[in-house]
Amino acid sequence: MLMLALSGMRTRWITFVGSFVALALGVGLIAATGLALAATFDAPERGPERFAAAPVVVRAADHLRVDTPTGTRTKPLDHPGPVGPRTADRLAALGRTVEDRTFPADVTAALTGADAKAARTGADAKQPRTGPGTTAARTGADAKQPRTGPDVTAARSGADAKQPRTGTGTTAARTGADAGKSRPGQDAEARVGHPWPVAAAAPYGLTSGRAPAAPGEVVVTTRPGGAPLRTGDRVLVRTPAGNGPRTVVGTVAGRGFEDAVFFTDDEAARISPDIDALVVHADATAVRRALGPDSGMDVLTGHDRRRADPDPDRDSRALVSVNALLGTAAGITLFVSAAVVASTFSFAVAQRRREFGLLRTAGATPGQIRRTVCAEAVLVGVLASAAGVWLGAEGAPLLVGRMTGAGLAPPWFALGDASWPLHTAFWTGVFVATAGALVSCHRAGRTAPTEALREAAVDSRVMPASRWAAAVLVLLAGLGLPALALAVDPGDLLGRKSYITRPMLLVVGFALLAPVLVRPVGRLLTWLPARLPGATGVLVRENTAAGVRRTAAVAAPVLITVALAATLTGTVATLEEARAAESRTATTADFVVTSGQEGRPMAPAFVERARAVEGAVVSVSRSTAVTVLEEDTALVTSEARAVDPARLAAVSELPVTAGRLSDLDDGAIVVNEEWLTTRVGDRVTVWLGDGRRASLRIAAVLATGTGDNGVYVTRRNAGGAGVDRIDVKVAEGADRRAVAAALQSAGAATGTRVTTRAEWLAATGPGTNDQTRTGLRMILGIALLCTATALANTLVMATSDRVRDLAVLRLAGATAPQVLRLVAAEAVVAVGVGAVLGGVVAAVNLLVVWGALVLLGVMSAVVVPWGTLGLVVAAAALLAAVSAVLPASLALRTRPVELAGARE
C-alpha cells in the first residue's frame, strides 16, 4: 500500500505539492502563534522595586475580601485607603519609620530667567511654602478634610488615586501661551512626587548635588531620552497643591519603574497629607502584633513588598491583551488553515475520480482505495507538518519582534521554552490532512466503477445526503444560537469572543452548501457577460456550472476571508459608532474637561476656578467602582461615576428605563439592566472603591447599551476618588465666549486642556486605536496568507488538470490570448462566488449585531467596511487570475494536438 501511495504521489506530484504547501503553511502559522501564545501565560517575575531596601512596608489592604458559603472571594480595590495617623504613631514606637506619599508632580524643563519669574505669577502659583500642616489652596468640596474616625482620612486614599500607573509619559494637555508659564513648544513631563526620606527604600542614590533641605528644592530622577535636567536648573512643578518654580539641587539615576521628583518631608506632607505607605524598621511579627488582625493593613515583607510598587500587576495586565490577540489569531489560524487544507485535499481527491474508477474496474475494493488515499494523506501530512513546525519555530521570533515593534506587546515580551505548541501544530496538521482525505475519498471508494468514470466528465450529484444533513445542522446552529442570544441576552453578542467565533458556524455551513450554491451564484455573476458579444461570457458561465467542485474549491478560501474580514472590521466599526452615538446622546454639555491621564485626578485649582466661572453650570465627577456579591458566590465589580445629582441632569441625558436620576442621594445608587437587582426602591449591598460596605437604594435603572452605561453614586460613596472629569454647560442667557475664555484661562494656569463637546466627541468617537487596527491587520493578514496559498494551489492544480480542455479550445479556433482570458475570467468568477457567499455570512452577522444594539436601546447604523472588502476581493481576484494564467500559458506552449491526445 505504501509503494502504491508513493507511486501515486510521484505521478500526480503537482496535486501533492499544492497540498503540501497549503498544509505546511497552515501548520507553520499555528506553530508560530502557538509559541507566542504560550509565552503570554507567565509574566516575568519581578522583585520589589520602590521598596527593595525596606525591611517592612505597611499599607492599606488593596484587596476586598468577602466570606461566602463557597469560600473567601477577593477583588482588587479601586482606591485603597491611607495609613491613618494613629497607626503611624503606634508603629513609630517599634522603631524608625518613614512615611511615603505619592502624588502627581509634573515637571516642565528648565526655565529661563524670564520664564521662572513669570511662573510665580497668578493666584494658582502663589502657594504657601512652609509648614507641614499647611493645606494648599484647596477649599470647598474638593478640599482634603479628614473624615471621622481615628485612622481614616478622606478625599485621597492611596497612591492609586493620585498617580499614574506608569512611570513615563507626557501630560495630555498642551497649555498654550500661558500654560504654566512654560516656554512655547514645551510640555510638562508626567512625574510622581515623593518625600526625600523614602528614596532610600528603593534605594535611590545621588548622582549629583545634594538632598533637598528647603521647600523650594527638589531632587529629580534622570533617564535616557527624558528631560535634560541638571543640578541648578529652575523648573516649573505642577502638584495638587498648585504650580511653582523649584530648584533642582540633586539628581538620582532612574530605576525604570517611575520618573520621580523628591521634595522635603514637610513639603510632601503639605502637598499630600495622606500617608500612602509606611516603611517600618522593625520585626515584621512585632508589626503585625501591634496592628492586630482587623486593622485593614497589609504588612509586606520579602517578595510581597512588590505589591506596594507602582502598578505591580502591569506586566500581567500587559499580557492580557497580548494573550487575547494571539488567542484570537491562533483560533482563526487553526480554523482557516483547517478549512483551506481540507478543501485542498477534497479537491485533490475529486480530481482523481477517473483514476479511482479505473482502479475499481481493475478489481480494487473500496477499502483499498480508501487505504491508499489515507496512506498518501498521512505521508503528505507528516512531511508537511514537519516542515510547518520548522517554519513556525523560525517564524515565531519574527512574529514576536513585529508585535513588540508595533506596540502590540510590551518591549520585554519574548518567547519562552515551551514545546507543546510545536507538538500540537504537528499532530493538528496530520489530523487535518487525514480527516480531509478520508471525508473526500469516502464517496469515491463506494461509487461503482462505471459511475465514477461517468462523473469524471461532468460534476453531478455533488451533494450526498450526509453533506446535506451536516450543512443544515451547522446552519441551524449558526442562525439559532444568535437568535437565542437575542431573545435571552443581547449583550452577550457584543463580546469579542462572540463576534469572532459566531461567523465560523455560518462559514462552515455555507462552505458545505457551496456545491449547490455555486451554480445559481455563478449564473448571477455571469448573466451580463454571457449576453455580451463573443463566446467568452457563455463559456465562463457554462464552465463554472460544469466544474462545480473546481469553482467551490476556489470559492471556499475567499468565502472564509471575506466573511471574517467583513465581520471583524464591520462589527468593531459598528460598535464604535454605537458608542459614539451613545456619547452624542448622553452628553449635552458644551465643554468637557478630562484629566488626560488614566488614574490621575484633575488639578484642584482648576476645579475651583471652573466652579467660579460666571454663567457656567459645572458638573464634577469621579471615576470609581462598586462591587456586589452575586448569588452569594461571585464578586462582580462595575465601573462607576460619582456625580452631583443636582448638576448631572443639566449636562447629560442618560437612558433611564425606570426611576429618576433626581432621586440619587448618598443612600442611593443608579444601576443598569445588567444587574441582578433592577427594581427601583430595592436595596443592594455593595462594597465601595475603598472597601467600605454600604446598603444603597436603587434610585434609577439605565439601559445596558453597549456596556458603557455604568453605575452612578454620589461623592460620599466615591471611595476617595479624585475629580477626573468636568462637564460644563453654559447657562441660559450667559455669554458662551466669556465662559469659554474663563475656562481656557483656568486650564492654561493649571495645565488642563479644555475641549468643546464637538472636540471631545471627535477624540472619543469612531476610529479604533492604533493597537486595535494593527491587531486586526495581523489577524486578517493571517487569513489572507492562508487564502492566497489555497487559491494559488487550487488553481494551479485545476488548470494543470485542464490541459486537454484548453487544447480542444485551441483546435476549435481559439487563440492563445483568448484561452488565457477565458481561464482568468473563470478564476475571477470563482472568486466572485466566494465573495458573494462571504458577504452573505457577514451581512447576517452584522444584522445580528445591529439587532442586539436595538434591543439594548442603542439606535445606530451598521458600518460596512467597503474599503477593506474591496481590497480583499481585489487581491484575491488578482492572485486567482495570475495563478490560473501562469500554468495555462505554460501548457499552451505544447502543440494542441499533443495535448488533446494526452491521457492521465
Whether residues 355 and 279 share a domain: the answer is no
Q: Flag the least confident range among 79-88, 117-126, 380-389, 851-860.
A: 117-126
Q: Flag the least confident range among 7-11, 442-446, 764-768.
A: 7-11
Whether residues 606 and 629 share a domain: the answer is yes
- Per-residue confidence at 112, pLDDT binned at 50, 70, 90? low
pLDDT at 612 over 60: yes
Q: Grid coordinates standing for 289?
A: 502584633
Q: Identify which has the larger pLDDT, 170 or 890.
A: 890
Quick one: CA dihedral 260, 264, 268, 273, positive or negative? Answer: positive
Q: How far apart are the first and last CA of the chain?
A: 21
Q: What values do phi and psi take at 833, rounded to 5?
A: -60, -45
Q: Identify which has the larger pLDDT, 522 or 777.
A: 522
Distance CA 493, CA 479 (A): 13
Average pLDDT over residues 570-589: 88
Alpha helices in 13-112 (DSSP H): 13-38, 85-92
Q: Flag the least confident range among 4-13, 112-121, 139-148.
A: 139-148
Whether residues 37 and 62 share a domain: the answer is no
Q: Identify which has the larger pLDDT, 709 or 159.
A: 709
Alpha carbons within 13 angstroms on the beta-carbon side of residue 848 total 31
Q: What is the mean pLDDT of the chain?
A: 81
**Domain edge (last residue) among 723, 748, 764:** 764
Q: What values do phi and psi take at 247, rounded to 5?
A: -105, 130
How high is the pLDDT of residue 294? 81
Whether residues 404 and 369 share a domain: the answer is yes
Whether residues 651 and 512 share a domain: the answer is no
Q: How many helices (H) and strands (E) does the chain have?
A: 25, 24
- The predicted-structure confidence for 166-189, as pLDDT tens digits, reads as follows 333 333 333 333 333 333 334 578
Of 617, 503, 488, give the one whose Cα is nearest residue 559.
503
Q: Identify which has the larger pLDDT, 197 or 173.
A: 197
**Domain edge (last residue) among 764, 795, 819:** 764
How high is the pLDDT of residue 187? 59
For 8, 366, 459, 598, 858, the CA distances from 449, given in Å and listed in that order, are 19, 10, 16, 72, 61
- Per-residue confidence at 347, pLDDT binned at 50, 70, 90? confident
**Domain edge (last residue) among 407, 425, 457:** 457
How high is the pLDDT of residue 461? 56
pLDDT at 397 over 90: yes
Whether residues 319 and 446 share a domain: the answer is yes
Whether residues 115 and 263 share a domain: the answer is yes
Q: Which amino acid is at 718?
A: A
Beta pairing partners, 700 = 659, 670
Helix-, strand-, coil-residue percentages of the chain, each rounded to 5: 55, 15, 30
Residues 6+ apart with CB under 8 A from 75: 63, 64, 627, 635, 637, 687
Average pLDDT over residues 723-745: 92
DSSP string, 460-472: -----HHHHHHHH
Is residue 441 within 8 Å of 369, Cβ to Cβ?
yes
pLDDT at 140 over 80: no
Q: Grid coordinates standing for 669?
A: 445608587
Is residue 370 within 8 Å of 445, Cβ to Cβ?
yes
Average pLDDT over residues 753-774: 77
Average pLDDT over residues 638-667: 91
How high is the pLDDT of residue 111? 58
Alpha helices in 588-685 (DSSP H): 604-611, 645-651
Query: 39-48, 55-64, 66-75, 221-230: which has the highest mean pLDDT?
Result: 55-64
pLDDT at 118 over 70: no
Share of the chain above pLDDT 90, in %: 33
Average pLDDT over residues 153-170: 36
Whether residues 700 and 720 share a domain: the answer is yes
Burial 565-601 (b: 16+ CB within 10 A, else e): bbbbbbbbbbbbbbbbbbbeebbebbbbbbbbbebbb
Q: Grid coordinates standing for 381?
A: 501530512
Is residue 192 within 8 Å of 103, Cβ to Cβ?
yes
pLDDT at 156 over 60: no
How high is the pLDDT of residue 98? 94
Q: What values do phi and psi take at 664, rounded to 5?
A: -70, 130
For 251, 356, 375, 454, the CA distances from 367, given in Å and listed in that order, are 82, 12, 12, 21
How high is the pLDDT of residue 895? 66
Average pLDDT over residues 242-258: 90
For 346, 441, 885, the CA distances from 796, given in Å and listed in that order, are 15, 21, 9
DSSP string, 794-843: HHHHHHHTTHHHHHHHHHTT--HHHHHHHHHHHHHHHHHHHHHHHHHHHH
Number of separate domains in the chain: 4
Q: 343 lies in which domain range?
A: 1-48+309-457
pLDDT at 769 over 60: no
pTM for this predicted structure: 0.77
Distance CA 587, CA 762 (A): 13
- Per-residue confidence at 629, pLDDT binned at 50, 70, 90? very high
Distance CA 383, CA 379 (A): 6
Average pLDDT over residues 7-14: 55
Whether residues 671 and 542 share a domain: the answer is no
How high is the pLDDT of residue 146? 37
Q: Flag the least confident range among 336-350, 525-539, 706-720.
A: 336-350
How high is the pLDDT of residue 796? 81
pLDDT at 451 over 90: no
How high is the pLDDT of residue 181? 38
Distance CA 255, CA 233 (A): 21
Whether residues 129 and 275 share a domain: the answer is yes
For 149, 518, 548, the CA distances from 459, given in Å and listed in that order, are 85, 12, 6
pLDDT at 658 over 50: yes
Q: Which residue has the cell 445606530?
A: 860
Q: Identify which has the larger pLDDT, 464 or 659.
A: 659
- The predicted-structure confidence for 265-313, as pLDDT tens digits, reads as follows 999 999 999 999 999 999 999 999 999 888 889 999 999 999 888 888 8
Whether residues 467 and 565 share a domain: the answer is yes
Whether residues 65 and 106 share a domain: the answer is yes
Residues 6+ apart with CB under 8 A from 536: 529, 818, 821, 822, 825
- Which 3 state secondary structure label does DSSP give 710? coil
For 10, 372, 375, 757, 804, the CA distances from 369, given in Å and listed in that order, are 17, 5, 10, 71, 26
- Per-residue confidence at 441, pLDDT binned at 50, 70, 90? low
Q: Which amino acid is at 284?
A: A
